[in-house]
Chains A and B, each alone.
Chain A
Amino acid sequence: MKPAAVGYARAGDVQEAVALLSQHGTDAKVLAGGQSLVPLMSFRLARPSVLVDLNRVGSLDYVRDEGTSLLVGAMARQRDVETSPLVAEAAPLLAEALRHVGHVTNRNRGTVGGSLAHADPAAELPTLVTGLGGELLVEGPAGPRSIAAENFFVGPFTTAMEYNEVLTAVRLPRLPAGTGVAVEQLARRHGDLAMVGVVAAVHLGPDGSVDLVRLAASGVGPVPVRLHAAEAVLVGAPPTDEAIDDAAATVAAAVRPPDDIHAPGSYRRDMAGLLLKRAVKTAIQRSEASA
């Protein structure tokens, strides 16, 4: 349980990180909070040649209000974001999802960008960013570019970033005041990565019907899945049990989880539908409570 020999370079800013990644090639790896990468190195499942440490790049540690959206720096610590009053107000689903990421001690060091760049299809933050239709800001030798969440996650632990690009921030659309949010998961133990998870945000219009809904599932395939069909059933509908059941019934066709050591695919698929019902009901209750 000791990492293999590895090189180490501390980046002072994003440009230096990009230069170091370009210099050291595809076997170099960015080190952010280290809560996933370091255990992988200890198991020797990851054997990077060089670690490019972003922990002293203070310019990536921020949460910024952009009016219609919220910008979270890649090196913002998960615990800081979880407890940020700005996040609670502008992106409550982010705070809710973060409470399910590991334990407080992990979140003290773990970063928002690190979790997104790690791209675990079972993890909360990639699912949340997929569900909200977020935007990932990356920077490489050619300068900055932005990638929509649906194009960012391309496979398990694989993103659309080039080897010498650094994730610098994630932009999340601001949810209207009164939006109810919920995260429902099936996990063996508190703090574990969930076998299946659903994130939900629901806003009710003046007539009491659903006028905004965002739904995504984790643990149901190689990447997080936005549940468009379920959203389409709910939007414009009154928030009744029947509408929620109809929405959940679309999940079976939307996801095709594989069988694995933890659960058969059919079980994950059924659980995704069940968790969707729970998440939507909780989100509706919270939306009504805040109205």
Chain B
Amino acid sequence: MNDKQSVSTTINGHVYTADCEPRLTLADFIRHQCGLTGTHLGCEHGVCGACTIMVDGRTARACLMLAVQADGCTITTVEGMADGDRLTPLQEAFWNNHGLQCGFCTPGMLMCATELLESNPDPTATEVRERLSGNLCRCTGYDSIVTSVLDAAEKQRS
């Protein structure tokens, strides 16, 4: 039962299939088996939020899921956000408002902010801060991140 199990998931529209040990986290599967290193791993125990991805349309921490659990799931990582060279309005807003410095936390921030704006297109700064409170920025660039999300919300509404 500790044997490898076949895992097949759709990530950013592509099907990835690999045999995985049950202990392999989904984050490591995405980075090492699929080569999608845009999903960053900070704390590896569900505190920093850097590895946040979309699983079946909702945010999930990839370090808190096992790869075997993702069999049959549809996943979006940061690589799947932009349409080729065309950034999403949220990504564009991060660029325009210095929403990233080192960029380590950015994939997780983008995922959580995307989910927020889907359900709440006009959030207050407090709501943005509360929603992103589970994502740590080691550059402490929170102010610019909040500004970016509010800017994206405004542009998406107009």
Contacts and interface: CB of A to CB of B under 8 A. Distances in A.
A15 to B, nearest CB: 19
Interface string A190-229: 1100000000000000000000000000000000000000
Nearest to B47: A39
Interface in A23-37: 31, 34-35
A204 B63 CA distance: 46
Interface SS of A by simple majority:
mixed
B45 A43 contact: yes
Interface in A1-24: 1-10
A108 B58 contact: yes
Interface residue tally on B, bucketed by range: 20 to 34
A51 B22 contact: yes
Given A6-B22, A39-B64, A50 B1 contact: yes
Contacts of A35: 46, 61, 64
A106 B52 CA distance: 10
Contacts of B49: 103, 105
A225 B22 CA distance: 38
Interface string A23-67: 000000001001100110111000000110101000000000000
B59 A108 contact: yes
A103 B60 CA distance: 10
A102 B45 contact: no
A244 to B, nearest CB: 29
Given A2-B25, A105-B60, A191 B134 contact: yes
B65 A2 contact: no
B68 interface: yes
A191 B48 CA distance: 12
B25 A3 contact: yes
A7 B66 contact: no
B43 A34 contact: no
A9 B1 CA distance: 7
Given A39-B64, A55-B69, A104 B134 contact: yes
A174 B64 CA distance: 33
A102 B46 CA distance: 10
B140 interface: no
Interface of B: 1-2, 5, 21-23, 25, 28, 43-46, 49, 52, 55, 58-61, 63-66, 68-69, 112, 115, 130-131, 133-134
Interface of A: 1-10, 31, 34-35, 38-39, 41-43, 50-51, 53, 55, 79, 102-106, 108-109, 189-191
